[in-house]
Amino acid sequence: MPIMTLVMQRIALGTLLLLLVSILIFVGTNILPGDVAQSILGQSATPMALENLRKEMGLNDPAYIRYFHWLFGILQGDLGTALTTKLNIATSIRERLWNTLFLAFWAAIISVPLALILGMLAIRYRNGPIDKLISGLALASTSLPEFFIGYLLIFFFAVKFQVFPAISTVYPGMSFLAKLQAIALPCTALTLVVLAHMMRMTRAAILNVMQSAYIETAELKGLSTLEIIRKHALPNAIAPIINVVMINLAFLVVGVVVVEVIFVYPGMGQYLVDHVAKRDVPVVQAVGLIFAAVYIFLNVVADVASILANPRLRHPK
């Protein structure tokens, strides 16, 4: 099967999945208990005012009409208007999305190479003290939730030693180095959360390849263990590693909600939580759909990259 056909199939499946997710998001936000109009105007609102607002917001229309109106607006780049602030959602989100991507980018720059290096070191010193130390730290990191890691980092590095700020405030015009200092703690928290999973998968994938016959041939040639891992094992174990790296990159963007709230970071996660508390349905729908789109896109990229990296997936026969 041609590669382009496989790629187009994955893109089509990703688009269909995103459409289904948009339906779930719309239905989920509309079956929540309570009245949106009542929550906006307050308990003292008159029935006439409530009815006028429902009519203005289209809440009296059937659900399927409201869904298609919302979907067609998104396809045209219109994410709607926030109920609480009356601001355009797309304009409000733009800077916050950039902040979230900035945080996720630096967490990825640190965690991905570090995970590959630690995974190869664990294989190089397999069953030795270094391997056990790396595996033990990875297990501990996996066992701790991100909010607990965040509070530990705040206690030690912001309160006790006062090296980094506890509140990660970034704003336009801020210098690059100041931004890096501001995101140091949330970036570290995200790195520790995803590092262990990627490292353990790297170790498992390379270890599986190390049992192959061509690895024994390389050993008989006199190559060192690190050369065998770098030149032979890693390239042949790259497909599952790419998958787990992409999944964790998706988590870095989508799973920042807790970390951003802990460090009061002005990103998409903090924006979402603020408007969930205010029952601002259009904002919740827009942010949820953006998170879903990023997650699905990165998974499609992982799938396509795995196909390109593994000839057996390109030629299943």
Would you say 30 and 63 are in contact if contact means Cβ atoms under 8 Å apart? yes
How far is it, in rounded angstroms, from Cα 113 to Cα 198?
10
What is the pLDDT, as a whole number, of residue 140? 86
φ, ψ of residue 88 in degrees (nearest 5)? -65, 125
| Tokens 């924006």 belong to residue | 271
Delineate the domains of the chain, giving CATH numbers in brackets.
94-295 (1.10.3720.10)
In terms of C-beta density within 10 A (0-12 exposed, 13-18 middle, 19 or more buried), how is residue 219 classed? middle
Q: Is 81 helix (H, G, I), strand (E, B) or coil?
A: strand
The amino acid at residue 149 is I
Would you say 271 and 92 are in contact if contact means Cβ atoms under 8 Å apart? yes
| Tokens 């928290």 belong to residue | 189
What is the pLDDT, as a whole number, of residue 83? 80
Reference 101, options 266, 282, 247; nearest CA is 266
DSSP 134-193: HHHHHHHHHHS-HHHHHHHHIIIIIIIS--S-SS----TT--HHHHHHHTHHHHHHHHHH
Residues in Cβ contact with 72 at an 8 Å cutoff, skipping those fewer than 6 apart: none
What is the pLDDT, as a whole number, of residue 265? 94
Please give the average pLDDT of every successive group of 10 residues along the chain, which has 317 residues: 78 93 90 70 76 76 86 88 85 91 93 90 88 88 88 94 91 90 94 89 86 80 81 79 85 86 92 84 91 90 77 57
| Joined tokens for residue 125 | 């010193």
The amino acid at residue 256 is V
| Joined tokens for residue 62 | 């059937």
Q: Which residues of 156-193 are buried (b: 16+ CB within 10 A; e: fewer)?
A: ebbeeeeebbbebebeeeeeeeebeebbbbbbbbbbbb
What is the pLDDT, as a whole number, of residue 277? 77
| Joined tokens for residue 158 | 């912001």
| Joined tokens for residue 284 | 């919740």
Element (H, E) at 130: helix 129-143
What is the pLDDT, as a whole number, of residue 228? 85
Angle (CA) 194-200-204 rounded to 5° is: 145
What is the pLDDT, as a whole number, of residue 183? 95
What is the pLDDT, as a whole number, of residue 268? 92
What is the pLDDT, as a whole number, of residue 313? 59
How far is it, in rounded angstroms, from Cα 44 to Cα 38?
9
Would you say 89 and 282 are in contact if contact means Cβ atoms under 8 Å apart? yes
